Amino acid sequence: MLTNKNVVVFGGTGSLGKLLVKRLLSGECGMPKKLLIVSRDEAKQHFMRLEFQQLAVATDEVFYHNYQRVLQFHIGDIRDYSSVRTAIRDADVVFNAAALKQVPACEYFPYEAVLTNIVGAENICRAIRENALTVRTVIGVSTDKACKPVNVMGMTKAIQERIYGRANLDCADTRFACVRYGNVLASRGSVIPLFHEQIACGGPVTITTETMTRFLLPLDHAVDTIFACLKGAKPGEIYVPKCPAANIRDLAEVMVGDSEIEIKVVGIRPGEKEHESLVSDEESHRTTERDGYYVVQPILPELQSGDLIAADISGVEYDSRKDLMTKKQIRELLEKNDLLRPHAIAVRMKETAKR
């Protein structure tokens, strides 16, 4: 599928992006001819370059052969059209994991979220459209906050989904599709690294409300969803994984364990929901199931496929309040992903400090 293809990953230095790159390099979707990482943070690129070349330290020679390797690094900004056009000029497949994703930050700097999450997506579509680029597939990474959005982050991601959907009408030779999922376990800025740090510092562990719930998705399952979308999505579709949800208080109690660390309720942050949805009531009539995933058909009738008629699951309720995990199940999930052992806390704190 990706054998001898030129692949571009925007946001490839993030938690999701790095695992995506690692698995792309493993060849499970075929070995790319070139894998270009695009981001504007030279420090993150430097540390990622050292990590993937298995170097502890390096001098300038690590840059000299950048464009002779399969894994290449490119300083660029998805918010800048000319930068995007240059980065994808010979791409076959583009993954967009670049995002402004912190809910409070987006509330305080909404236009910055617009530039990254909306303008950035449009820049990819525009570059393909206006330059007749031979990009075959674009996969955008969305979020549960785009479903019935109440915050800036979700609103911008919801519009991003529509931008990619509409682009299929302009670029007949390019397939645009998205994935949408909830909190990725231990990704940068998520609740688990925060709890790790608070526990390591002796507490308190802060939660927003007693009843707040969230979907929890292992990082590998997030990449699985991207690959499933790459393999099976039709133009304009959104792939949604089936993932468990948990009460955040229960999550905190499992992580605190038998220690005497206080759990403190601090209230909902600006723009935050108490519960999340991955498929809305309005979307349910155009949602189907395929290969173990929910698939939301595009809103534009020109793009809707016959699958909808054959496998309608109208009325599906995909809300984080449904079928909550028990504390035992939460513990098993965290243990399976190496997020409860004492050394994991130290490792996550070290990674956070380095980033």
Question: What secondary structure, in 3-state letters, does 159-222 show?
Answer: HHHHHHHHHHHHCCCCEEEEEEECEECCCCCCHHHHHHHHHHCCCCEEECCCCCEEEEECHHHH
The rounded distance, in Å, linking the Cα atoms of 250 and 144 is 21
Mean pLDDT, the chain, whole residue set? 89
pLDDT the model gives residue 310: 45
Residue 216's DSSP bridge partners are 183
Cα distance from N-terminal residue to C-terminal residue, the chain = 33
Task: Tell me which of 145, 264, 350, 354 is the catalytic residue.
Answer: 145
Any catalytic annotation for residue 242?
no
In the DSSP assignment, the letter for residue 236 is T
DSSP type of residue 118: I
Lowest-confidence region among 52-61, 92-101, 119-128, 193-202: 52-61
Map residue 307 onto helix, strand or coil: helix
User: Per-residue pLDDT tens for 313-350?
Assistant: 555 568 898 889 999 999 999 999 888 864 444 444 44
Number of residues written out for the chain: 355
Question: pLDDT class for 308, splitting at 50, 70, 90?
Answer: low
Q: Tokens for 8?
A: 């571009």
What pLDDT shows up at residue 306? 65
**Element spanning 21, H or E:** helix 15-25
φ and ψ at 292, to 5 degrees? Answer: 85, 10
Bond from prior residue into 270 cis (ω within 30 degrees of 0): no
Higher pLDDT, 313 or 187: 187
The amino acid at 228: A
Handedness of CA 294, 299, 301, 302 (dihedral sign): negative
Q: What is the CATH number of domain 6-182+216-242+277-318?
A: 3.40.50.720
The beta strand positions in the chain, using DSSP E, are 6-10, 34-39, 71-75, 93-96, 137-143, 175-181, 183-184, 205-207, 213-217, 238-241, 245-247, 263-265, 277-279, 287-290, 293-296, 318-319
CA angle 159/217/151 to nearest 5° reads: 30
Which of 15, 2, 138 shows the shortest CA–CA distance to 70? 2
Would you list the domain boundaries of the chain?
Answer: 6-182+216-242+277-318
The tens digit of pLDDT for each residue in 219-262 reads: 999 999 999 999 999 999 999 999 999 999 999 999 999 889 99
Which of 91, 92, 57 is closest to 74 using CA atoms? 91
